[in-house]
Structure 1
Amino acid sequence: METGSMILRNLAYSLFVYADNSFLSFAEKHRLLELIRSFLIAFVLFLLRLIPSLTPNYFPFDSLKLTKKGAFTHSPPSGDGVGAVDVGEKFGIGRALSQSLSIMSEIPVSSRKYDVVRSLAEKIIEDNRREGSPALCEVNRTVLSAAFSRTLAQLELDVVEKGVGPEVWAESGNGPGPVDYRLFKVLRVVRSIGDVAWTKVGGRARVGGSPAGRSAEKLAAELVWLAEKMAACGFADDAVRRWASASRLAWLAISAEPRLQCSLVKLSAFLFAESKDFIEKDLSEHEKEQLKQMKIQMLQSWLPLLCRASNGTDAPVLSGSKRSEVEKVLEEIIETLDEVHQEKVLTLWLHHFTSCPSSEWPNLHASYTRWCDAARKSLLLHQDLLLLNQE
């Protein structure tokens, strides 16, 4: 399913680009054609974003199965015809957990029923974990991972729909670039039309671009809760992989509201700490390379937010000791990278660290100094080798 959706998306994108290039020369000469072209581009972008949302479990590192020191590990049940994907759907306990998590995402936090549904989901998760059965552990993994992916996609969509200024949209980094911003207003019109049609056929009304009961802050807080539950069950790797891939959300979060930034900083700090302890003992060379790329992607995506985000509105989101702990974790992860990738990560850190006068964290000065020492030694070694060859 996941592979099929990506093939469909890539095929649609290729055909669209080919058609758009052919149409561009004509559209530039006529204003009406240019307007039609912009509308069609926005509509196609909307469809392309819809395709991966139908497969929330897709992620380029999904084949990478990681373990954590001291974590409970298990294998998917075999011999009974129940696969890792189906186990959360074929049995009542999986459907019960999935339903409770889905309802929890729809109910406003202010409702007293929210705590009831959340407590019910917590009890199902804990009871499944306490049984120690591989099948029940797989239920937790499958349903929680799907909920994390779904909530992450909803959060990104909510942040996008709030709108981003052209000066932020055009900033270099991981963002989509200035061309997307020119189409963004048209995309919002298309989305608004879809929302009206949805409510006409009986869909739940949307508030501020999101269904009633959902807000960016609520979704981010639920992501933190889901990640903590996944870690407690021994499969934080699923959350880490998906968080590492959320580069667009990380880029948009730099200009998000402080309360939302606080939750994203808290989740990033938590998942960085979890990723540090992934062990490579039984991994193949290909899987080790995937693990390295995942860590690089996570650093490049979320380091800018850590440098620029608010540390709290009413109270600090991270205590002084926790911030020091996260700095140590980041240094240890960076130390596992080769010299070239260390340069890329530390150059990115220095840019954002010095660009934000209101924050002194995370301070990776020690890592930067160590990389400079290593780079200096590499240059001297290279020079010595050249002299030897000349002799």
Structure 2
Amino acid sequence: MENSPTAMAFSVLKTLLTSLFFYADKPLIVFVDKCKHLQFIRCFLVSAFLFFLRLLPSLFPSFNASPFQSYKFCFNSKRGEALCPVADGGGGEPGIARALTQVLSIVTDIPVSSRKYEVVRSLAERLIDDNLLDGNKALQEVNRTVLAAAFCRTLKQLESAVIDHGGSHVVTGTPDGGGSVIDDYYRGLRRVVRAAKFYGDLVRRRLSARDELSRSEVSAEKLAAELLWLVQKMTACGCSEDALRRWSSAQHLARLSLSAEPRLQGALVKVSAFLLDQARQLWKEADEESMKYDELRQTNMNMLVSWLPLLCRASNGTDTPVLSINKRAELERTLELIINTLDEEEQEKVLSLWLQHFTYCPSSDWPNLHDIYTRWCTASRTSLLLLN
């Protein structure tokens, strides 16, 4: 039986072996692109491991083979992605999930100029909407799982596209995000490490992905637009929290965006604005006594620290404002609400970050958080007087 002790033991063994294999495979990714022999060895080892997984159930006939879900693996070493398991065939993943995954992958990969783009995009929307309108929990879970995976994949592609096209240089003349609360020594050290990482990424990708350099700057802008579309679909399916968490932790992309092309910056501002609005909605629905409340609070903090500098720099756009006047005013109120959920020290860090970037960007006077900054100063002054 599947739930017997033997079945459980084999399931644990399979999971342990798979995890160890993933961990052992990661160091190879760094070198496989530089040596064809290593590529061959890696493919051979992966094939042998997959054969071993498939062979185990036949060696032990009394074991129900259903826990041994079939696996396939990503060999996209050019992008530096780790080996990852994906349900394959008639195992655990339903056909509708595989179909939606394929369609979303094509939507992200093909250019907007292709005459097939609108066809595939419409097909993806119809699949998602049909799953949602059906009301079945299993179909809704398919939407949530596949959309979350697509968002993560597109986010990685966007970061790679920005780096590949020269967006990884260090922004000069811009204040460090730590503000006055960070010691000068650590601030300088962070700048050195950040610069080394940026240039290291640039050199590594130029050497290992020369065939991908034909992508235009529009491709990065297109990926950002796809992210906005995906997060809108995730919100409709009730899984915007996952997108918010991933976007708030995309600190590397947020730093790269400060030196990106204006059109790409505008697209990223739209994604951030939409997700900040979702953060406000989720916060209103959160229970203060639950663990989710603390997680949302930390996510909000990460969101502000990561993307507030871009909001200060890229709100005007190349010819027209990225956001309308009403949307700007609404987002300012959202920012104030989210900042108010933080404790005093976190508010200081966020507001110090805002003040520096707001001051160093003469081309933009938004977002204007002067009122909440003044209120924080008053509250801090009052706290000091109460201590004395």
Do the two structures share a fold, i.e. TM-score over 0.5?
A: yes
Q: Deviations over 1:177-201 (max 9, x none)?
A: 43454575565454344336xxxxx
Among 292, 297, 307, the alignment partner of 1:292 is: 297
Number of equivalent positions: 313
Which residue pairs with 1:21 in the alignment? none
Following superposition of structure 1 onto structure 2, how do residues 107-186 of structure 1 map, counting pairs within 5 Å?
A: 107-163=110-166, 164-166=168-170, 168=172, 172-173=176-177, 177-179=191-193, 181-182=195-196
Q: Which residue of 1 aligns with 2:209?
A: 195
Deviation at 1:172, TM superposition (A): 3.6
Cα distance change of structure 1 residues 274 and 107 upon mapping to structure 2, 3 Å threshold: same
Equivalent residue number for residue 372 of structure 2: 367
CA RMSD of aligned residues (A): 3.7
Other-structure match for 1:275:
279
| 2:80 aligned residue | 50
Unaligned stretches of 5+ residues in structure 2? 1-14, 28-76, 179-186
Superposed displacement of residue 117, structure 1: 0.3
Structure 2 residue aligned with 1:96: 99
- Distance of 1:241 and 1:147 partners within structure 2: 15
User: Relative to 1, partners in 2 of residues 1:88 and 1:282: Cα closer, same or farther, differing over 3 Å?
Assistant: farther
Shift of 1:302: 0.4
Unmatched tracts of structure 1, length 5 or more: 13-46, 58-81, 197-204, 384-391
More divergent stretch after superposition (331-340 vs 114-123): 331-340
Cα distance in 2, alignment partners of residues 183 and 94 from structure 1: 37
Distance in 1 (CA, whole Å) between partners of 2:152 and 2:85 is: 5
Contact 1:280 1:288 in 2 (8 A): no
Mapped partners of 1:88, 1:267: distance in 2:
36
Aligned partner of 2:242 in structure 1 is 238
Distance 1:86 1:346, change over 3 A: farther
What percentage of residue pairs aligned between the two structures are identical? 54
Q: Distance between the aligned counterparts of 1:234 and 1:146, measured in 2?
A: 15
* Letter aligned with residue 308 of structure 1: R
Of structures 1 and 2, the one with the larger relative CO (CA 8 A, separation 6+) is 1
2:171, 2:152 → 1: CA distance? Answer: 29
Which residue identity does 1:302 align to in structure 2? W
**287 and 374 in structure 1: CA distance in 2 versus 1, 3 angstrom threshold:** same
| Deviation digits for residues 148-183 of structure 1 (CA, Å, limit 9, x no counterpart) | 000001111111222233554997438974345457
Aligned to 2:308: 303
Q: Which amino acid aligns with 1:318?
A: L
Partner of 2:269: 265
SS in 2 for 1:112: coil
- Counterpart CA distance in 2 for 1:320 and 1:236 is 25
Change (3 A) 1:90 1:133: same
In the alignment, structure 1 residue 229 sits paired with structure 2 residue 233:
yes
Residues 104 and 150 in structure 2, CA contact (< 8 A), matched pair in contact too: yes
Greater mean deviation of Cα atoms: 232-241 or 256-265: 232-241
In the TM superposition, what whole-angstrom CA distance separates every residue of 1:259-314 from its partner, at most 9, and x where no partner exists? 00011001100000001111465575543222211110000000000001142224
* Corresponding residue SS for 2:209: helix
